[in-house]
């Protein structure tokens, strides 16, 4: 099993990122965290992951973002589905209470899970280990 290399956070809410950061550091102090509050930049980063990159990445993707939503990013990644699934564990994080969002997430093979905000210590422990 490849070792966990980095945590990629794509969310336009800086406070939410700050909370995840604080909790993550307390669980795994030397974790490499990449933060994207601009969804476009986050997508570009994910598109650049290659097969040679044999580390396991954890991606936390927010749904409700201006210009490019979480769903838009997943759509854009469709062509590189195999690489993402091989190298990443991708989780949706959202404030959404709509069951529709959950079933959409469950139907996408790239998505490993759906977490409702706020993300708790328990959630992150589960994700990171």
Partner 1 sequence: MVTRAQEGYISSDNTSKNLLLLTNKINKAIIRIKSEQELFAEICKLTVEVGNHAVCWIGQPDKENKKFNAIAHYNATKEDEYQLGSRKYDPNGPTATVIRTGKFYLTNNFKDEVWDEELRNYLWQKGFRSYLALPISKQGKVEYTLNLYSGNVNFFSDEQIQFLEGISDDISYAIDNIENEKQKTIAHDQLREISSLLQRTESATKTGSWKVNFATGAAYCSDETFRIYGIPPNSINPNYNDWAKQIHPEDKEAVIAIDNESRKKLRDTIKEYRIINPDGTLKYVQTHAHYELDTNGQPIGMYGLVRDITAETEAEAALAQSEKNLRLMVDLIPQSIFIKDLNGNFIYANKSYCDLYGKTVEEINNSNWSNVTSAHVDRDKIINHDNEIIRSGTSKKMIDFPFTDHSGKERYFDVIKTPFQLPGKTMAILCILNEITERKHTDILKSELLNDLTERNKNLEQFSYIISHNLRAPLANILGICKLLTHAENRKENTEIFLEDLTLSAEKLDNIVRDLSTIMQAKQSSLPKEAIRLDQIVADVKHSLENMDDFHRMEIKHDFGHAQEIYSVKSFIFSIFHNLIANSIKYSRPDIAPILEIRSRHTKNGCEIIFSDNGTGIDMAVNGSKLFGLYNRFDTSKEGSGIGLYIVKTQVEALHGQIEVSSEVNVGTTFKINIKQ
Where on the chain is the footprint of partner 1 (CB under 8 A)? 12-13, 15-16, 18-19, 22-23, 26, 37-38, 64-67, 94-98, 116-121
Minimum CB separation of residue 77 from partner 1 in Å reads 20
User: Residue 16 or residue 84: which is nearer to partner 1 going by CB?
Assistant: 16
The answer to whether the CB of 57 falls within 8 A of the CB of 5 is yes
User: Residue 66 or residue 109: which is nearer to partner 1 going by CB?
Assistant: 66
SS3 call for 127: helix
User: Residue 1 or residue 15: which is nearer to partner 1 going by CB?
Assistant: 15
User: Residue 87 or residue 94: which is nearer to partner 1 going by CB?
Assistant: 94
The answer to whether the CB of 88 falls within 8 A of the CB of 55 is no
What distance separates the 2 farthest-apart alpha carbons in the chain? 38
Minimum CB separation of residue 16 from partner 1 in Å reads 6
Minimum CB separation of residue 109 from partner 1 in Å reads 25
Minimum CB separation of residue 19 from partner 1 in Å reads 4
Of 3, 2, 52, 61, the C-alpha closest to 32 is: 3
């Amino acid at each position: 099993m490849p070792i966990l290399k980095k945590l990629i956070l794509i969310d336009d809410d800086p406070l939410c990122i700050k909370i995840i950061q604080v909790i993550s550091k307390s669980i795994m102090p030397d974790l490499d965290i990449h933060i994207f509050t601009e969804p476009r930049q986050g997508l570009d980063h994910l598109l650049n992951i290659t097969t040679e990159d044999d580390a396991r990445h954890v991606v936390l993707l927010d749904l409700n973002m201006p210009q490019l939503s979480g769903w838009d990013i997943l759509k854009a990644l469709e062509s590189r589905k195999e690489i993402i699934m091989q190298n990443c564990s991708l989780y949706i994080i959202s404030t959404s209470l709509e069951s529709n969002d959950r079933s959409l997430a469950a139907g996408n093979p790239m998505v490993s899970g759906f977490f409702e905000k706020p993300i708790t210590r328990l959630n992150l422990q589960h994700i990171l280990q």
